[in-house]
A and B are shown apart, each in its own frame.
Chain A
Amino acid sequence: MANVVPVDAYSTGEWYPGYKPEFFDMPWIVDPAGPFRPGDENQFWFLDFHWSRGLTPLGSTLWSGDGYCWGTQHAAETLPLPPGRGVTARFAGTHLYGSALPETDPREIEARAGRIATNLPHFLTNYRSIWESGRDELENTWSYFRGIDFTKVRGDELPNLLAQGRRYHKRAMEIHFGVMYPMLANFLGFYGACADMGINPNEIGKFLQGEDTKIMETDRKLYELALKARAAGLEGVFQAHDGGQLRDALARHGGAASLWLTEFDDFLQIYGWRAEATCDVGVPSWIEDNTIPLDLVKTFLQRRDPHDFEAAASNAWAERQEAIENARAGLTREEQAVFDAGLASNQEANFPWWQDDHNYYIDLKVMLPLRWGCQELANRVKADRQDDMLYLFWPELRDVASGDRPYDAGLRGLVDARRQYFDHWHTRRSEMPKVLGTIPEAVEDPILIEIFGLNPQSIKAVQNPEAAEQTTISGVAAAKGVARGVARVLQSSDELHRLEPGSVLVCESTSPNWTPAFGKIAGAVCDGGGMLSHAAIVGREYGVPTVTATGVATLSIADGDEVEVDGSNGVVTILTRAADVASAVRSPEVPA
């Protein structure tokens, strides 16, 4: 008998103040997004870690509509996935829950299987040109937006520019999921074959690790800047100020600091067009807000023993070669033929690599042009704050931009009320149920298992009413090694500056914007995420012991607890509760 967590509390019909159902009027393919509706408890919903801050009115509708309910459903129809039709979305307050859409008609499943039999090989044969042409198309559109001075755009052109910004994001999601589904299908077919041939599943991820990504490249460049800051004697400035004050402090310091800032700005022009969140129009880029990269430089400087990126990369590569050799040795000649060809196919269309690399081109920047448009519009209508427009829904935004509707006291009041609604739900994030609706014992959708870490054990774990009291947590052994440290439980990457070197990161899940943190932490523990999740991949690349798919780490572990992360066995132990650390002496880092 499946456990049902009711959605009644969220399917009241109430949502953001002034919300009307037509705000979700946008094309979708199988199932439209919206706030929870009565009857939704018949489906299985999981709290989506990508948006742990909650989403603004504009962010929530555009992501759920153009991302999940267009992008994933479009890709699931195009490939197609035989038994799956993509992902749909619901909101509980500002928090997004996802659900996989199954195809249940056996005749349809068979017809779809016939189509993927043609399309998947075609994709794999042409993977490089398909992905690179999609990426280049998006980069061209990006260049188009970068070439526009938003402050000089004529008023009557602004609505069109906003529409183009939205369209850029939507097209990016077609490309994103159009590449992701076939790559994942190829990877998981290979994964299943490997496991069936007796290869230890923990080894399979290693076969594809060790290749450089744009995200790792960004981390290295930032780290080089930290070393330059140290060489220029700027450590004192960094230690004396927080990220928010650092830019001014460095400017005041002058001399070497000014030179350093010039180099920092050059870095940002290449790597700074990234927001601190996946596809969230509500979150600034590094260029707009220097706080995050400057805080990262600051924490890099706090680390006494420097992180050796080169050594980590060559270790990852050596580990990969060794894992491949060991796996091959245990296979018959017939199996080796399957393994070798499958490995070659997966090394060419390398899903774990793509899963990190694509964020530079898509997830972390595709919402920026729309954000710039919103900010420019806010300036022109003399909004109270620059982010006011993010609290409008798309039809309202379009009308304000075209001048059909004045940004008057009525709208301003609504924006204020919605801002309060957002803040209210932001503080409730940690109480949000991890799962809602009809909870199965296991899920079959590969993306839910591999990316979200919804395996039978984590699904069981999130239903444990005593989760907050438990001192041993198990999950997926995502990156090997054992480490001890003080836990830092973060709601979002806004709090990355709270990570001291040698601390243990505890969060719902990580995204590429969290990657720099892996250069300084001792261990990582996530509620979600399978072997292919961001934390698992980056944990392996950086040699940081990591346990994912615990379901409840953010509930069970309190900020300041001393914990041991056993990434080889997938176990996290709470050694001392923060409340019991009377002397408040920080535990020394224990090397893995």
Chain B
Amino acid sequence: MTAAPADAGVEPAPERHSCEAIAWLDEVAPEEAVACGGAKMGRLAELLASGVQVPQGFAVTVEAYRRHCRDSGLDGRIDEILSRVGPDPSDAEVEHASAAVRELFASTPISEHLTARLTEAYEELCLRCVDVNVPVAVRSSATGEDAADASFAGIFDTYLGVSGIERVLDSVRRCWGSLFTARALAYRLRRGISHHDMPIAVGVIELIHARASGVAFSVHPVTGKRDRIVVETSWGWGEAIVQGLVDPDHVEIGKADGRVLRYDVAHKKVVSAFDFAVGAVTEIEMPAKLADRRVLDDEQVGAIAAAVTAIEEHYGHPVDVEWVIGRHRRAGDPVCIVQTRPVTTAEPEPAVSAASPPGGPAYDPVALAQKYLFSGRPIPGR
């Protein structure tokens, strides 16, 4: 699926094949979700439609971004800045252009029309969450084939704990601007990709008050073994884990029977916590009493594994997910999934069973001797 061409006339009339400015996760058609809400929000909508628990929220669509760039004159000003950058620019040139474009996004107001639509949607979200100025996560949700690629992981902005419409509008503009971070810009310039070919959507979703969060893989991210689920977790929000700021607890679960194979409790020095004074999730020192405590009990591990297994089955390929266990979750409730991607890091290799021919005996001494003894490599563990 690709976004609709943006060559329609000046009239803001509804267009066929395109979305409105706002797309609610629970209203958008799953088959159109990625095209109009970007990869991150689109997959959340797909998950919701398939029965997975996800937070409430809406996407500020690709179309809204396009219109903003077009109607405010940003397109022309961006093109002018980028036209001064050659095909093989220096780091400094890229940095300079990136800063200039992002400044444009920060200083260009959102149109009245879109502001009204966003305000309306945010108020609706507050109503749904039964909260005033409900804190939300504002997440960039890029499009295009490359957006799903691991090379773009974490490249665009995310703001956690944004409260009040003014801050939401501000965060949306920053997310738009993050399409032009130096890394993203350099990547596109190197590959000759136009930013028009990968417009960005922004997700505004309810901030789940996290007791614990983490990531989970439906395949071992390093060895590629597909017979297990790997979970990494810490207290609070998942930012410290995703950014590699904390050494998380490591859990492995057998996919066939859901047994916990190992649970390594880590010394967790940093926690992503909500700072009410700042109005955002920030990284602080982990309280001493929590640092060495095991984060997940077996029931929670089981709920995470169940969600990951369901998502892998839904997509038919290995996935990684970001999940949150909210403060009010009770045993038996599903965990909340805030993001999922196809796994791109590991060569899928069903490790040991590869040593025996399909349908053959589980233990093949000849294959194992070849693999570990006669391969010219040191025997593992020696």
Contacts and interface: CB of A to CB of B under 8 A. Distances in A.
Interface of A: 81-83, 109, 113, 116-117, 120-121, 124, 185-186, 188-198, 201, 204, 329-335, 337-338, 340-342, 344-345, 442, 444, 446, 449, 455
B363 A192 contact: no
Interface of B: 225, 227-228, 252, 254-257, 259, 261-262, 350-353, 355-356, 361-363, 365-374, 376, 378-382
B374 A83 contact: yes
Nearest to A334: B227
Contacts of B259: 329, 332-333
Contact of A185 (B254, B369, B382): B369
Given A113-B370, A196-B351, A332 B365 contact: no
A189 B227 contact: no
Contacts of B374: 81-83, 109, 113
Given A193-B355, A341-B362, A330 B262 contact: yes
Given A185-B365, A193-B371, A330-B262, 11 more contacts: A83-B374, A116-B366, A192-B380, A196-B351, A201-B380, A334-B256, A334-B350, A337-B363, A340-B363, A345-B365, A449-B379
Most buried by A among B254, B368, B378: B368
A196 B377 CA distance: 13
Given A120-B366, A331-B261, A189 B381 contact: no
8 contacts: A113-B374, A188-B373, A193-B355, A197-B351, A332-B256, A341-B361, A442-B378, A446-B373
Contacts of B366: 116-117, 120-121
A192 B256 contact: no
A498 B196 CA distance: 87
A351 B196 CA distance: 67
B319 to A, nearest CB: 18
Given A83-B374, A333-B257, A335-B352, A189 B382 contact: no
Nearest to B255: A332
Given A116-B369, A185-B373, A338 B363 contact: yes
A552 B135 CA distance: 66
Nearest to A191: B379
B379 A188 contact: yes
B362 A338 contact: yes
Given A117-B366, A201-B381, A338-B363, A332 B227 contact: yes
Nearest to A342: B363
A189 B353 contact: no
B371 A189 contact: yes
Most buried by A among B355, B369, B381: B369
Contacts of B365: 120-121, 124, 185-186, 189-190, 342, 345
A455 B378 CA distance: 10
Contacts of B372: 188-189, 191-193, 196
A341 B227 CA distance: 18
A195 B381 contact: yes
A505 B367 CA distance: 40
A83 B257 contact: no
A446 B227 contact: no
Contacts of B367: 189
A335 B356 CA distance: 12
A192 B379 contact: yes
Contacts of A192: 368, 371-373, 379-381
A434 B227 CA distance: 45
Nearest to B253: A332
A198 B261 CA distance: 10
Nearest to B370: A113
Contacts of B252: 330
A444 B352 CA distance: 21
A330 B259 CA distance: 9
A304 B381 CA distance: 40
A194 B363 CA distance: 12
B218 to A, nearest CB: 13
Contacts of A341: 361-363
B382 A449 contact: yes
Nearest to B225: A332
B228 A332 contact: yes
Q: Top 9 closest A-B pairs, CB basis?
A: A192-B372, A195-B381, A189-B368, A201-B381, A341-B363, A195-B380, A337-B362, A332-B254, A333-B256
A395 to B, nearest CB: 39
B363 A345 contact: yes
Contacts of B370: 82, 113, 189
Contacts of B362: 334, 337-338, 340-341
B377 to A, nearest CB: 8
A329 B369 contact: no
Contacts of A81: 374
Contacts of B356: 338
A412 B373 CA distance: 50
B376 A83 contact: yes
Nearest to B228: A332
A124 B257 CA distance: 31
Contacts of A345: 363, 365
B352 A120 contact: no
Contacts of B368: 189-190, 192-193, 342
Given A116-B366, A189-B368, A335-B227, A455 B373 contact: no
Nearest to A337: B362
B369 A189 contact: yes
A444 B377 CA distance: 7
A569 to B, nearest CB: 16
A192 B375 CA distance: 11
Most buried by B among A117, A197, A198, A334: A334
Given A121-B365, A201-B381, A446-B379, A338 B373 contact: no
Nearest to B378: A442
Given A82-B370, A120-B365, A446-B379, A197 B227 contact: no
B369 A186 contact: yes
Contacts of B382: 195, 201, 449, 455
B249 to A, nearest CB: 16
